[in-house]
Amino acid sequence: MSFKTSGAFLCCLACLCFLGLGCLPLRAETILIRDATILTIAQGTLRGSIVIRDGKIAQVGRNVAEPPGARVIEASGQYVMPGIVDCHSHIAVDGNVNEQSVSVSSMVDIRDVINPEDIAIYRALAGGVTTANILHGSANAVGGQTVVLKMRWGKSAREMIFEGAPPGLKLALGENPKRQGNPPAANVRYPATRMGIEDTIRQAFLDAKAYKAQWDDYEARAARGEHVLAPRKDLSLEPLKEVLEGKRFLHVHSYRADEILMLLRLADEYGFQVRTLHHAVEGYKIAREIAAHGASVSTFSDWWSFKVEAFDAIPYNAAVLEKKGVLVSLSSDDPELMRHLNTEAAKVMKYGGLSETEALAMVTLNPAKQLAIDARVGSIEPGKDADLVIYDRHPLSNYAKVQKVFIDGQLYFDRAQAKSVVREVE
């Protein structure tokens, strides 16, 4: 599968707009960000200005005509980059992120438990994050459904949902799903080993294939005009069926090379696509196999040693995978780390020698591609959503501070207006 936004999703987006579900009333304000260093990610870095119109990037360039009546943001000496996209987060979830009671919990959906008032949303926004993939936890081999949010702080749960972003489903491999099968878990249940996790996932997809066959058969016969009863809907198999049909992305929590390879082979056998391997701290050991399957990886920059399966985690993971042709993003999995993913990106320059653009792409364009929302966000290009971050220093510097964050051309965070201890002391 290529990491391009497919027409189907854009179509879906249009439908949502038609139904009035996803389209926000955009303020028609025209904004000019003047004389900044613009890190476009897709088309190099330049000194120039950006025109925002109707929530979209209208113009980017060295010499742009200043639209009359535009609100001007003077950004001399400042840096603008695309809003950060975090491909792995659990913020804004009301209550437990894990439906822990069963090993296959694909019927549950994070979309149903979004808490738009979670302060972590505001803090992420203040750290330059404009979009985040919100995942179910990793307690179950087959977890729940995921949702992509824009950090539209102050809006309702529904208004935060990234219109048209493809839905996802979480799988989990290794130590976390094993925990439910081993003491001291209160109610021990299958599986308890990596073998059992393979079996659980295999059984789930076997069931989903049979379920899909029933529906395909029904739909074919119905299309021929036969009078047939529809099969019974199964809410846990439905999302797996969508995965088989390529309509829902698989996000797979994984650590060790063996378990990743197991899943890739299972996917090949059952004919489904692994969209993104999350964490995948040993991904560098099987970069070739990951690239061959066409999976992408969303990993930590330098986390290691917190558990046994993270002992071979190396900060060079992202660089090795990138060099071997895998689409890589850096994600947080943590409401604190989420606030400085820009400097996390600098670590792939230190460890593995990637370029500035490759580094910043790992927290902007690459995760946008992984989530198939790159037609909308992830780089500074005309026509894309005006999701932009202004920094006072180069965003790869540890001294950089987020000054302003725009989503859909609206100013959602302004350090000059935010409650800050520094100013109070000063």
Partner 1 sequence: MMSGRTSFKFSLFLACAASLAASDADTLLLRNVDVYPMIGPRLTAASILVQDGKIALIGAKIAAPKGVRIVDGQGLRAYPGLIDSGTELGLAEIADLRVTVDSGELGAFMPQLRALTAVNPDSEHFRVVRANGITSVVTFPSTENGERNGGERQIVAGQAALIHAAGWTWEEMAVNGSAALLLIFPSLPVNQPGFAEAKRTYDREIQQIDEFFDQARRYERAKTAGGSNFKIDLKLEAMLPVLDSRLPVAISAEREPAISDAIEFAGRQKIRMILLAPRELGKAAAKLKERNIPVVLGRTLDLPLHEDDPYDSAFTLPAQAWRAGLKIAFGTFDNEFVRDLPYNAATAVAYGLPYEEALKAVTINAAEIWGAGGQIGSLEKGKWADMMLTDGDPFETRTQIKALFIKGREVDLKNRQTQLYEKYLNRP
- Contacting positions for partner 1 (CB under 8 A): 119, 122-123, 126, 284-285, 287-288, 302-308, 310-312, 314-316, 320, 323, 335-337, 339-340, 343, 346-347, 349-352, 356, 393, 396-401, 418-422, 424-426
Backbone angles phi, psi at 407, to 5 degrees: -130, 130
CB of 158 to partner 1, least distance (A): 24
d(C-alpha 159, C-alpha 23), whole Å: 8
CB of 365 to partner 1, least distance (A): 20
Q: Which is nearer to partner 1, 2 or 305 (CB)?
A: 305
**Considering only CA atoms, which of 299, 305, 361, 302 is closest in space to residue 331?**
299
Within 301-405, residue ranges assigned H as helices are 317-323, 341-350, 356-361, 365-370
The CA-atom distances, in angstroms, between 183 and each of 197, 359, 400 are 17, 41, 45
Q: Which is nearer to partner 1, 250 or 281 (CB)?
A: 281
CB of 8 to partner 1, least distance (A): 37
Q: Which is nearer to partner 1, 207 or 302 (CB)?
A: 302
CB of 123 to partner 1, least distance (A): 5
CB of 312 to partner 1, least distance (A): 6
d(C-alpha 141, C-alpha 243), whole Å: 15
CB of 307 to partner 1, least distance (A): 4
Q: Which is nearer to partner 1, 117 or 216 (CB)?
A: 117
> Which strands sit side by side in the sheet containing 168-172, from one edge to the other?
84-89, 129-134, 142-150, 168-172, 249-254, 276-279, 296-299, 328-330
d(C-alpha 162, C-alpha 377), whole Å: 11
Q: Which is nearer to partner 1, 144 or 335 (CB)?
A: 335
The CA-atom distances, in angstroms, between 218 and each of 55, 123, 213, 224 are 44, 49, 8, 10
Q: Which is nearer to partner 1, 202 or 393 (CB)?
A: 393
Q: Are the beta carbons of 300 and 363 closer than 8 angstroms?
A: no
Q: 171 forms bridges with which residues in the sheet?
A: 142, 252
CB of 80 to partner 1, least distance (A): 18
Q: Which is nearer to partner 1, 376 or 394 (CB)?
A: 394
Q: Are the beta carbons of 295 and 286 closer than 8 angstroms?
A: no
